Structure 1
Amino acid sequence: MTIKSARTRAFQSQKGYCCYCGFEMWTDSAESFAQKHQISVKQARHFQCTAEHLHARKDGGPDTAENIVAACIRCNRLRHQKRSKAPTPSEYQQHVQKRVNKGKWWSLPPDCNLSRDRPAKLRNSTG
Protein backbone atom coordinates (compact mmCIF):
# COMPACT_ATOMS: atom_id res chain seq x y z
CA MET A 1 0.00 0.00 0.00
CA THR A 2 1.33 3.45 -0.88
CA ILE A 3 1.31 6.31 1.61
CA LYS A 4 -1.08 8.20 -0.65
CA SER A 5 -3.58 5.33 -0.73
CA ALA A 6 -3.26 4.84 3.05
CA ARG A 7 -3.87 8.57 3.56
CA THR A 8 -6.91 8.48 1.29
CA ARG A 9 -8.27 5.44 3.10
CA ALA A 10 -7.75 7.10 6.50
CA PHE A 11 -9.32 10.37 5.28
CA GLN A 12 -12.39 8.48 4.11
CA SER A 13 -12.72 6.32 7.23
CA GLN A 14 -12.37 9.43 9.42
CA LYS A 15 -14.99 11.21 7.30
CA GLY A 16 -12.50 13.96 6.46
CA TYR A 17 -11.70 15.03 10.04
CA CYS A 18 -8.25 15.32 11.66
CA CYS A 19 -7.45 12.57 14.15
CA TYR A 20 -6.01 15.12 16.60
CA CYS A 21 -7.92 18.42 16.46
CA GLY A 22 -11.10 17.03 14.89
CA PHE A 23 -11.40 19.82 12.33
CA GLU A 24 -12.43 19.17 8.75
CA MET A 25 -9.54 18.77 6.26
CA TRP A 26 -9.09 19.08 2.51
CA THR A 27 -7.28 16.98 -0.07
CA ASP A 28 -7.76 18.89 -3.30
CA SER A 29 -7.69 22.71 -3.13
CA ALA A 30 -6.89 25.17 -0.36
CA GLU A 31 -8.65 27.89 -2.36
CA SER A 32 -12.00 26.09 -2.64
CA PHE A 33 -11.76 24.93 1.00
CA ALA A 34 -11.15 28.54 2.10
CA GLN A 35 -14.05 29.83 0.08
CA LYS A 36 -16.41 27.11 1.32
CA HIS A 37 -15.53 27.76 4.98
CA GLN A 38 -15.11 31.54 4.84
CA ILE A 39 -11.47 31.54 5.90
CA SER A 40 -8.33 32.83 4.19
CA VAL A 41 -6.27 30.62 1.88
CA LYS A 42 -3.40 31.00 4.37
CA GLN A 43 -5.61 29.59 7.14
CA ALA A 44 -6.93 26.85 4.85
CA ARG A 45 -3.43 25.58 4.13
CA HIS A 46 -3.20 24.41 7.76
CA PHE A 47 -6.10 22.01 7.15
CA GLN A 48 -4.45 20.03 4.35
CA CYS A 49 -4.76 16.30 4.96
CA THR A 50 -1.51 14.42 5.60
CA ALA A 51 -0.64 10.82 6.37
CA GLU A 52 0.32 10.65 10.04
CA HIS A 53 2.32 7.62 11.13
CA LEU A 54 1.22 6.54 14.60
CA HIS A 55 4.61 4.87 15.00
CA ALA A 56 7.00 7.26 13.25
CA ARG A 57 8.89 6.07 10.19
CA LYS A 58 12.16 7.30 11.69
CA ASP A 59 11.54 4.86 14.55
CA GLY A 60 10.77 1.96 12.23
CA GLY A 61 7.04 2.55 11.77
CA PRO A 62 5.69 0.91 8.61
CA ASP A 63 3.73 2.46 5.75
CA THR A 64 0.65 0.36 6.47
CA ALA A 65 -3.02 1.21 6.82
CA GLU A 66 -2.89 0.16 10.47
CA ASN A 67 -0.10 2.64 11.18
CA ILE A 68 -1.41 5.60 9.18
CA VAL A 69 -4.18 8.00 10.15
CA ALA A 70 -5.26 11.28 8.57
CA ALA A 71 -4.12 14.46 10.31
CA CYS A 72 -4.13 18.08 9.26
CA ILE A 73 -0.69 19.33 8.33
CA ARG A 74 -0.56 21.63 11.37
CA CYS A 75 -1.23 18.86 13.90
CA ASN A 76 1.15 16.49 12.12
CA ARG A 77 4.01 18.99 12.09
CA LEU A 78 3.49 20.22 15.64
CA ARG A 79 3.50 16.69 17.06
CA HIS A 80 7.02 16.16 15.75
CA GLN A 81 8.42 19.69 15.87
CA LYS A 82 11.30 20.54 18.19
CA ARG A 83 11.17 17.26 20.03
CA SER A 84 13.73 14.54 20.29
CA LYS A 85 10.86 12.13 20.94
CA ALA A 86 7.31 12.90 19.84
CA PRO A 87 4.49 12.29 22.32
CA THR A 88 2.42 9.17 21.77
CA PRO A 89 -0.58 9.63 19.49
CA SER A 90 -3.04 9.42 22.38
CA GLU A 91 -1.01 11.83 24.55
CA TYR A 92 -0.84 14.33 21.71
CA GLN A 93 -4.53 13.93 20.90
CA GLN A 94 -5.42 14.66 24.55
CA HIS A 95 -3.14 17.73 24.52
CA VAL A 96 -4.67 19.07 21.31
CA GLN A 97 -8.24 18.41 22.47
CA LYS A 98 -7.63 20.33 25.71
CA ARG A 99 -6.26 23.29 23.73
CA VAL A 100 -9.11 23.17 21.19
CA ASN A 101 -11.75 23.05 23.94
CA LYS A 102 -10.19 26.15 25.55
CA GLY A 103 -10.14 27.96 22.20
CA LYS A 104 -6.33 28.03 22.15
CA TRP A 105 -5.52 25.86 19.13
CA TRP A 106 -6.80 27.88 16.17
CA SER A 107 -7.45 31.54 15.62
CA LEU A 108 -10.34 31.45 13.18
CA PRO A 109 -12.79 34.19 12.20
CA PRO A 110 -16.02 34.04 14.22
CA ASP A 111 -18.13 33.79 11.05
CA CYS A 112 -16.25 30.81 9.60
CA ASN A 113 -18.26 27.63 9.12
CA LEU A 114 -15.53 25.04 9.56
CA SER A 115 -16.97 21.90 11.10
CA ARG A 116 -15.39 19.85 13.83
CA ASP A 117 -15.99 16.31 15.03
CA ARG A 118 -14.74 14.56 18.13
CA PRO A 119 -11.92 12.33 16.89
CA ALA A 120 -11.87 8.64 17.69
CA LYS A 121 -9.57 7.72 20.55
CA LEU A 122 -6.16 6.79 19.19
CA ARG A 123 -4.22 3.76 20.27
CA ASN A 124 -0.57 4.02 21.16
CA SER A 125 1.51 2.20 18.60
CA THR A 126 4.51 0.33 19.87
CA GLY A 127 5.72 -0.67 16.46
Structure 2
Amino acid sequence: MTCQRLKTLKLKAARRQDWCCYYCRMPMWDDDLDQFVIRYRLTRRLAQTLKCTAEHLTAQCEGGKDRADNIVAACLICNRRRHQTMKPKSPSDYQRHVQGRVRKGKWHPQGRIKAVFNAGGEWQENRP
Protein backbone atom coordinates (compact mmCIF):
# COMPACT_ATOMS: atom_id res chain seq x y z
CA MET A 1 0.00 0.00 0.00
CA THR A 2 1.34 3.39 -0.89
CA CYS A 3 1.55 6.29 1.54
CA GLN A 4 -0.77 8.26 -0.75
CA ARG A 5 -3.42 5.51 -0.54
CA LEU A 6 -3.20 5.48 3.27
CA LYS A 7 -3.50 9.27 3.34
CA THR A 8 -6.60 9.03 1.12
CA LEU A 9 -8.15 6.46 3.48
CA LYS A 10 -7.33 8.69 6.47
CA LEU A 11 -8.95 11.73 4.86
CA LYS A 12 -12.07 9.74 3.93
CA ALA A 13 -12.33 8.50 7.51
CA ALA A 14 -11.83 12.02 8.90
CA ARG A 15 -14.64 13.35 6.70
CA ARG A 16 -16.92 10.46 7.73
CA GLN A 17 -16.18 11.32 11.37
CA ASP A 18 -16.74 15.06 10.85
CA TRP A 19 -13.04 15.66 11.57
CA CYS A 20 -13.39 14.36 15.13
CA CYS A 21 -11.09 11.74 16.62
CA TYR A 22 -12.54 8.22 16.59
CA TYR A 23 -11.58 7.75 20.24
CA CYS A 24 -11.77 11.08 22.11
CA ARG A 25 -14.10 12.96 19.69
CA MET A 26 -11.86 16.07 19.80
CA PRO A 27 -11.55 18.04 16.56
CA MET A 28 -8.52 17.28 14.41
CA TRP A 29 -6.55 19.02 11.69
CA ASP A 30 -4.49 17.75 8.80
CA ASP A 31 -2.95 20.49 6.67
CA ASP A 32 -3.38 23.86 8.35
CA LEU A 33 -2.09 23.95 11.92
CA ASP A 34 -2.18 27.76 12.10
CA GLN A 35 -5.86 27.96 11.15
CA PHE A 36 -6.69 25.23 13.68
CA VAL A 37 -4.82 27.11 16.43
CA ILE A 38 -6.78 30.28 15.68
CA ARG A 39 -10.14 28.54 15.34
CA TYR A 40 -9.89 26.67 18.65
CA ARG A 41 -7.66 29.12 20.55
CA LEU A 42 -5.03 26.50 21.34
CA THR A 43 -1.30 26.71 21.70
CA ARG A 44 0.63 25.28 18.75
CA ARG A 45 2.09 22.62 21.02
CA LEU A 46 -1.32 21.44 22.22
CA ALA A 47 -2.82 21.63 18.73
CA GLN A 48 -0.04 19.38 17.42
CA THR A 49 -1.36 16.56 19.61
CA LEU A 50 -4.68 16.81 17.73
CA LYS A 51 -3.17 16.17 14.28
CA CYS A 52 -5.19 13.65 12.29
CA THR A 53 -3.54 10.22 11.87
CA ALA A 54 -4.60 7.00 10.19
CA GLU A 55 -5.40 4.43 12.88
CA HIS A 56 -5.58 0.74 12.02
CA LEU A 57 -8.40 -0.85 14.02
CA THR A 58 -6.58 -4.16 13.62
CA ALA A 59 -2.88 -3.40 13.79
CA GLN A 60 -0.74 -4.24 10.79
CA CYS A 61 1.44 -6.49 12.96
CA GLU A 62 -1.72 -8.48 13.73
CA GLY A 63 -2.65 -8.82 10.06
CA GLY A 64 -4.64 -5.60 9.72
CA LYS A 65 -4.81 -4.28 6.18
CA ASP A 66 -4.77 -0.78 4.73
CA ARG A 67 -8.45 -0.89 3.80
CA ALA A 68 -11.30 1.52 4.41
CA ASP A 69 -13.01 -0.85 6.85
CA ASN A 70 -9.83 -1.03 8.96
CA ILE A 71 -8.80 2.65 8.93
CA VAL A 72 -10.27 5.35 11.16
CA ALA A 73 -9.03 8.87 11.84
CA ALA A 74 -7.55 9.39 15.30
CA CYS A 75 -5.71 12.30 16.84
CA LEU A 76 -2.00 11.79 17.34
CA ILE A 77 -2.25 11.46 21.12
CA CYS A 78 -4.98 8.77 21.02
CA ASN A 79 -3.17 6.82 18.32
CA ARG A 80 0.14 6.88 20.20
CA ARG A 81 -1.34 6.06 23.60
CA ARG A 82 -3.27 3.08 22.26
CA HIS A 83 -0.08 1.48 21.02
CA GLN A 84 2.15 2.25 24.03
CA THR A 85 1.30 -1.02 25.75
CA MET A 86 2.46 -4.48 24.74
CA LYS A 87 -1.15 -5.58 24.25
CA PRO A 88 -3.34 -2.65 23.17
CA LYS A 89 -7.04 -2.69 24.04
CA SER A 90 -9.54 -3.48 21.32
CA PRO A 91 -10.77 -0.39 19.47
CA SER A 92 -14.16 -0.47 21.22
CA ASP A 93 -12.63 -1.00 24.69
CA TYR A 94 -10.09 1.74 24.06
CA GLN A 95 -12.82 4.09 22.81
CA ARG A 96 -14.84 3.53 26.01
CA HIS A 97 -11.71 4.01 28.12
CA VAL A 98 -10.74 7.26 26.36
CA GLN A 99 -14.23 8.74 26.39
CA GLY A 100 -14.59 7.95 30.10
CA ARG A 101 -11.31 9.75 30.79
CA VAL A 102 -12.36 12.69 28.60
CA ARG A 103 -15.61 13.05 30.59
CA LYS A 104 -13.53 13.17 33.80
CA GLY A 105 -11.12 15.70 32.30
CA LYS A 106 -8.23 13.24 32.54
CA TRP A 107 -7.25 12.59 28.93
CA HIS A 108 -6.17 15.71 27.11
CA PRO A 109 -4.83 18.54 29.25
CA GLN A 110 -8.33 19.96 29.73
CA GLY A 111 -7.16 22.98 31.69
CA ARG A 112 -5.27 24.18 28.64
CA ILE A 113 -7.93 23.36 26.04
CA LYS A 114 -10.15 26.42 26.04
CA ALA A 115 -13.20 24.64 24.78
CA VAL A 116 -16.74 24.06 25.84
CA PHE A 117 -18.51 20.74 25.85
CA ASN A 118 -22.25 20.43 25.44
CA ALA A 119 -24.38 18.37 27.83
CA GLY A 120 -23.66 15.24 25.76
CA GLY A 121 -19.92 15.65 26.18
CA GLU A 122 -19.38 16.59 22.52
CA TRP A 123 -16.81 19.20 21.50
CA GLN A 124 -17.96 22.70 20.58
CA GLU A 125 -15.55 25.28 19.35
CA ASN A 126 -15.04 28.44 21.35
CA ARG A 127 -17.31 31.34 20.60
CA PRO A 128 -15.91 34.88 20.93
User: What are structure 2's unaligned runs of at least 5 residues?
Assistant: 124-128
Following TM superposition, by how much is the alpha carbon of 1:60 offset from its aligned partner in structure 2, in angstroms? Answer: 1.1
Higher relative contact order (CA 8 A, sep 6+): 1
Pairwise CA RMSD of aligned residues? 2.0
In the superposition, the TM-score normalised over structure 2's length comes to 0.83
In the superposition, the TM-score normalised over structure 1's length comes to 0.84
Runs of 4+ in 1 over 6 A off after TM superposition: none
Aligned pairs for 1:33-52 (under 5 A) are 33-52=36-55
Aligned to 1:101: 103
Deviations 1:22-60 (CA, angstroms, capped at 9, x unpaired): 001001122221121111000000100000000001111
Q: Secondary structure at the match of 2:39?
A: helix
User: What are structure 1's unaligned runs of at least 5 residues?
Assistant: 119-127
2:69 to 62, 66, 69: 66
- The whole-number CA distance in structure 2 between the counterparts of 1:41 and 1:22 is 19
Is 2:26 aligned against 1:23?
yes
- The whole-number CA distance in structure 2 between the counterparts of 1:36 and 1:109 is 18
Report % sequence identity.
42
Deviations 1:68-122 (CA, angstroms, capped at 9, x unpaired): 00000100000001x211110001001001100111112245672477748xxxx
- The whole-number CA distance in structure 2 between the counterparts of 1:53 and 1:80 is 11
